[in-house]
Structure 1
Amino acid sequence: MTTSESKVVIIGAGVFGLSTALHLAKGEGYKDVTVFDYQPYQDNAYNPSEGCDGASADVNKIYRCTYGDETEYQDLAFSGRPIWLEWNEQIAKSKPEDLPKGLTPETKLFVPCGFYRLAVGPQLSAYDQMCLDELEKAGLREELHVKKNAADMARLAEKDKADPSTHWLEKISVFDNFQGGTLDGFVDTVAGMTYADKSCAWARYLCEKAGVKFILGPEVGKLDDLIYEGEGDSKKVVGLKTADGKEHKADVVVVACGGWTPSVLPDLNGALEATAGSVATITIPKERQDLWDKFSPEKFPCWGYGLTGHVSPEYGGFYGFPITPEGKIKIGYRGRKWTNYQTHPKTGQRLSVPKTKYTPDKAVNLPKKAIVNIKKVVFELFPELRGIGITDTRMCWYTDSVDNSFVIDYVPGYNKTLFVASGGSGHGFKFLPVLGKHVKNQLEGVQDQFTPLWKFRKAVPGEHANGLEEGENSGRNLASLELADVSDWVWAEPGEVKIEEDEKSNGVLNGLVDKVKSLVVS
């Protein structure tokens, strides 16, 4: 079993790897922890515009505490919130020269702007009602405010009166015209968003201060292969070899590679699958200060629509964020989760692997049906954004488990020398401050409320497994889908010219206007 005397190697410097390293090394903890990653994060600071394509290296992520009856994750989210706020304070009190690249004393990692969860009809879904019920049991129901509940709205008005800077009533009123104003919903006032790239840069900085070593870069930090000794019942992993040919010994290797985890360790086939959500960005011109003000975190919340109880099998799973300091509004769609099946070069297995703007086989756009669905919901939610259009897209690759719970455990067959920390299933980032505490417990064989939940498991043949049972012929595989073109990025009604001449001055399509100006919607 792993102890503080063990030499631990972690492959992957995203949220799972960073949180694990931090909690192993903090205090009088582990003295020999090394994190490897092929990304030179010391140079690019997790900036997704500088070649970073992991899910953790993102602009922002939703922070929520509502999890229906999955109270373990509700508890985990609440346990991390004070640390997010503490990190904000630590950064604010720091000298600029003492902060890692990408951060200033003005940086906020967590912004408590709230999360407005729209129902798909005039009543809350069963899941939404469970969220209310479970927070009531926890004595926290006062943090949730249902739109069609007069008492809840009165309490929300009192919060605005006590602190006018919160703008809670204004934040939810921006959705009043959607679907004719018929939808119910609730706002979670303890929720908000995290700036993901900056949070990772901060966590890596804390790790280094605690003594964690990082070996980063496309040669020195990139895994070539694991090093094995013995066979059968005596088989062990004793380290790894990197792309530069060097071997690095270890007592235990933790694989925390996000969307790349199943392809790094094909033993996980049937336990994890790499799937992509769709992200569209709308960049607001500086001269549109009215939109900068409307969508600011002070006046606009994170939001979700159809996250449970989809309108149709594919039309649902939408979410969005306030404007970033750079003027970007991010809209996400995960109603359908894309796969990219390829043949593993070493095992011959067919499995899903990430395909991004920066992989050798590049993803230059989203599946067209993702763009169509994003445009449908944003067209009605925020018609004022129509004249700007989508300015960038990204496939965000997560790792789904069979039941959306994490897989954090020893991989069977390696005598407790090989460990996996993955399966974020699109909801892991918010746990960055606290996740590693429970990973450490699992490594050391210490039971807590999460260790049974995260045990190693695979799909059972014939049973539903969160889509893993569908395999390559699911209708979600990129090879079988029509991809969008940049001309699809612009909103228009049938027969309309997509780009007007005066919109060209906005410059928001980054040179793409000339390619689509004359196109007409058929």
Structure 2
Amino acid sequence: MPRFAPPQRVLIVGAGEFGSTTALALARGAYKGHEHLITVLDRSPTPPATDAASYDYNKIVRQEYTDPLYANLAREAMIGWRGEWKEFFHETGVIMTARPAGVATAEKSYAVNFLPGMETPGKCARKLSGKADVQAQYGAGVPLGDFADCYAYHNECGGWAEAARATEAAVAKARAAGVTFRCGTAKKLVVNGGRVTGVVTEENADAYTADLVVLCCGSWTPTLVPDLKENLLPTGQVVGFVQLTPEEHERYKDVPVTMTALNGFYIFPPTATGLVKFAIHELGYLNPQAGYPSLPRTHLSRGYEMQSIPAHGHAKLLRNLAAVYPELAKKPFSASRLCWYSDRQSGDFLLDYHPEYNGTLFIGAGGSGHAFKFLPVIGGLIEQGIQGTMPQQYRDIFGYKSRPDRVDGRFEYSEFTRLDGDSKL
């Protein structure tokens, strides 16, 4: 017997990857035939919002997690990307490269591809034997930087997903199923008798009410649940773009996704319009606000409409870009942004009920920069969490309280930097 079913009403706050797929999973599950009892509230009238993490050209899809639980989950998601979501998936392959300090990490990732159940018929993973072998994966016409002299392996299984388009499709599928969408920015929870009964929006004093509230707000989650302001820390990650000419696009159009172990740099093949995106997955930047160690600061934040990334973040992107594609490092950035992660120190998702509200507030957050590849399965996981049917191995690590034995490696070799003056904490 599900915990929540008609006639109980469900309010999902946030229509990004987590929120839209949760609505879809509920509409296909316990609420099939009663989809009108599900309401999704989002800041944007056409979600996802343009400053949301899921509003992006592309995200990496891969399966090489050294944690078997995530590896198996990523494998399951990959099947979904090749199935229902194949329109948005580009299986270009992924190259992982590493300088000496990162070789051990890369070796562990490589070994995952040979575990039972991780093989993909017709696709293989292999180590690359020297610069000529690396060059062959990119084509003779693509100049490569000194990363090509380092350890590298190529996995034909994996590539990238069109993030914004896939999320828009999840929203469209949920709408088509009968889910109700409303526009509004949730300002605070409504609590009555120790139970959450809805939210109040910034736009008006009227509350959206429900029997269950599901928060899928990403890095904005602490604004509604302040006790998560450190366990779901909002961090800004630097992202850059260069625009290719038609001739350059022709040379680079078939390159694989490239990742660098340890320092977190990654770069995509060009989009259909010739835009190349690159970024660094690290601790990132904090935007301290009154009572909060950090809150998102985006192009939709008042006063930051023309926001650009910090200067030394720009310089770090440029150094890493030159190490992969020196020709592209000579081009001016066509754009840059801070992508705001919802970071848990464990790196795990938070998919659980808040312990203080008698099973009326569920949190779906903690993307920690690696959640998008799980779009085909994340909504189903959240539905399992809501209904109390999530497998124990997932409940153990996605629970409200972080396990002290699980710490994301990024927290071991980076330092937080504040946006107000770029001073170290």
The farther-off stretch of 20-29 and 55-64 is 20-29
Deviations 1:311-353 (A, max 9, x none): xxxxx2111111112221101022341111101xxxxx23310
Shift of 1:452: 1.9
Q: Distance in 1 between matches of 2:191 and 2:148?
A: 61
Shift of 1:130: 1.7
- The TM-score with structure 2 as length reference comes to 0.88
User: Aligned partner of 2:269: which letter?
Assistant: P
Kept in 2: contact 1:438–1:451 (CA 8 A): no
> Gaps spanning 5+ residues in structure 1: where?
90-107, 157-167, 309-315, 344-348, 483-522
Secondary structure at 2:284's aligned position in 1? strand
Aligned residue number for residue 34 of structure 1: 39
Identity value in percent: 27
Kept in 2: contact 1:21–1:212 (CA 8 A): yes
1:120 aligns with 2:102: no
Task: Name which of 256, 273, 276 aligns with 1:301.
Answer: 256
Aligned residue number for residue 247 of structure 1: 207
Task: Name which of 346, 351, 372 aligns with 1:429.
Answer: 372
Q: Distance in 2 between matches of 1:417 and 1:469?
A: 36
Secondary structure at 1:436's aligned position in 2? helix
Residues 369 and 149 (structure 1 numbering): CA distance in 2 closer, same or farther, change over 3 Å? closer
Q: Distance in 2 between matches of 1:374 and 1:139?
A: 36
| Greater gyration radius | 1
Kept in 2: contact 1:402–1:459 (CA 8 A): no
Shift of 1:28: 5.5
Aligned residue number for residue 158 of structure 2: 191
Aligned residue number for residue 18 of structure 1: 20
Kept in 2: contact 1:338–1:476 (CA 8 A): yes
Kept in 2: contact 1:272–1:468 (CA 8 A): no
1:75 aligns with 2:72: yes
Shift of 1:429: 0.6
Aligned residue number for residue 171 of structure 1: 138
Residues 403 and 463 (structure 1 numbering): CA distance in 2 closer, same or farther, change over 3 Å? closer
**5 Å matches for 1:205-216?**
205-216=172-183
Task: Name which of 229, 239, 258 aligns with 2:218.
Answer: 258
Residues 20 and 480 (structure 1 numbering): CA distance in 2 closer, same or farther, change over 3 Å? same
Deviations 1:92-148 (A, max 9, x none): xxxxxxxxxxxxxxxx30000111111113x96222222232322225466311112
Kept in 1: contact 2:97–2:106 (CA 8 A): no
Residues 447 and 177 (structure 1 numbering): CA distance in 2 closer, same or farther, change over 3 Å? closer
User: Aligned partner of 1:365: which letter?
Assistant: S
Secondary structure at 1:270's aligned position in 2? coil
Shift of 1:433: 1.2
> Gaps spanning 5+ residues in structure 2: where?
none
1:364 aligns with 2:292: no
Q: Distance in 2 between matches of 1:200 and 1:337?
A: 24
Aligned residue number for residue 497 of structure 1: none
Kept in 2: contact 1:463–1:469 (CA 8 A): no
Aligned residue number for residue 228 of structure 1: 191
Shift of 1:447: 3.5
Shift of 1:375: 1.1
Q: Distance in 2 between matches of 1:334 and 1:131?
A: 16
Secondary structure at 1:435's aligned position in 2? helix
Shift of 1:180: 7.0
Residues 442 and 380 (structure 1 numbering): CA distance in 2 closer, same or farther, change over 3 Å? closer
User: Aligned partner of 1:195: which letter?
Assistant: E
User: Aligned partner of 2:20: which letter?
Assistant: L
Q: Distance in 2 between matches of 1:380 and 1:467?
A: 21
Secondary structure at 1:137's aligned position in 2? coil
Deviations 1:241-281 (A, max 9, x none): 22222222111111110111122210213321001110011
Kept in 1: contact 2:58–2:163 (CA 8 A): yes
Q: Distance in 2 between matches of 1:174 and 1:339?
A: 40
Secondary structure at 1:481's aligned position in 2? coil
Q: Distance in 1 between matches of 2:60 and 2:344?
A: 20
Q: Distance in 2 between matches of 1:80 and 1:459?
A: 25
Deviations 1:69-106 (A, max 9, x none): x11111111112232222356xxxxxxxxxxxxxxxxx
Residues 174 and 443 (structure 1 numbering): CA distance in 2 closer, same or farther, change over 3 Å? farther
Shift of 1:205: 0.9
Shift of 1:176: 8.0
- The TM-score with structure 1 as length reference comes to 0.73
Shift of 1:475: 4.6
Q: Distance in 2 between matches of 1:457 and 1:440?
A: 19
**5 Å matches for 1:45-84?**
46=48, 52-68=50-66, 70-84=67-81
Aligned residue number for residue 282 of structure 1: 242
Aligned residue number for residue 135 of structure 1: 113
Kept in 1: contact 2:99–2:150 (CA 8 A): yes
User: Aligned partner of 1:112: which letter?
Assistant: E
Kept in 1: contact 2:354–2:363 (CA 8 A): yes
Higher relative contact order (CA 8 A, sep 6+): 2
Aligned residue number for residue 438 of structure 1: 381
Aligned residue number for residue 4 of structure 2: 3
Kept in 1: contact 2:242–2:331 (CA 8 A): yes
Kept in 2: contact 1:441–1:451 (CA 8 A): no
Kept in 1: contact 2:198–2:210 (CA 8 A): yes
Q: What is the count of residue pairs matched by the alignment? A: 410
Q: Distance in 2 between matches of 1:62 and 1:239?
A: 35
Kept in 2: contact 1:172–1:187 (CA 8 A): no
1:144 aligns with 2:125: yes
Shift of 1:408: 0.6
Q: Distance in 1 between matches of 2:370 and 2:147?
A: 30
Secondary structure at 2:247's aligned position in 1? helix
1:378 aligns with 2:321: yes
Kept in 2: contact 1:263–1:351 (CA 8 A): no
Secondary structure at 2:351's aligned position in 1? strand
**5 Å matches for 1:390-429?**
390-429=333-372
